[in-house]
Amino acid sequence: MRAYACPNCSRLNHFEVRVCPGCNATVGYDPVLDGFRFLADKATVWRDGAGETADVVVCANNNDYGICNWLVETADSTPMCRACRHNRTIPDITQPSVPPRWAKIEEAKRRLFHTLLQLGLPLETKAEEQPGRQGLAFDFLYDPAAEEAGKPQISTGHESGLVTLNLIEADDAERERIRHKMGEPYRTLLGHFRHEVGHHFWSRLVETDEQDLAAFRELFGDERVDYQQSMNAHYGDGGGKVWTDDYVSQYATMHPWEDFAETFAHYLHMVDVLETARAFDLTPSSPYGRRQEFNVSLDFDPYAADAKTLAETMGPMSFTLNAMNRSMGLPDLYPFHLSDAIVAKLDFVQRVLAKARQGAPRPERTTQPAQ
Rounded distance between C-alpha atoms, residue 228 and residue 231, angstroms: 5
Amino acid (1-letter code) at residue 33: L
Q: Evaluate whether 240 touches 233 at the Cβ level (below 8 Å).
A: yes
Query: For position 325, what pLDDT does the model report?
Result: 95
CA-based end-to-end distance of the chain: 19
Rounded distance between C-alpha atoms, residue 134 and residue 130, angstroms: 6
Rounded distance between C-alpha atoms, residue 113 and residue 272, angstroms: 12
CA angle 241, 243, 244 (to 5 degrees): 115
Query: For position 279, what pLDDT does the model report?
Result: 92
Inter-CA distances, 201 with 5, 153, 207, 283, Å: 32, 26, 9, 31
Nearest Cα to Cα of residue 119 among 252, 311, 310, 316: 310
Report the relative pairing of strands 35-38 and 27-30 from DSSP bridges. antiparallel
Whether pTM > 0.75 for this model: the answer is yes
Kindly give the confidence (pLDDT) of every residue in the chain, 371 residues in length, as a single tens digit, with 9 standing for 90 and above: 889 999 999 999 999 999 999 999 989 999 988 999 888 665 544 444 444 455 678 899 988 888 999 998 765 667 899 999 999 999 988 888 899 999 999 999 999 999 999 999 999 999 999 998 999 999 999 887 777 766 666 888 999 999 999 998 888 888 888 887 777 878 899 999 999 999 999 999 999 999 999 999 999 999 999 999 999 988 886 555 677 889 999 999 999 999 999 999 999 999 999 999 999 988 877 565 555 666 778 889 999 999 999 999 999 899 889 999 999 999 999 999 899 999 999 999 999 999 998 655 555 444 343 33
Phi first, then psi: give them for residue 69, nearest 5 degrees: -115, 20
Nearest Cα to Cα of residue 26 among 44, 12, 50, 7: 7
Neighbours of 31 (CB within 10 A): 19
Neighbours of 86 (CB within 10 A): 21
Query: For position 292, what pLDDT does the model report?
Result: 61
Query: For position 359, what pLDDT does the model report?
Result: 56
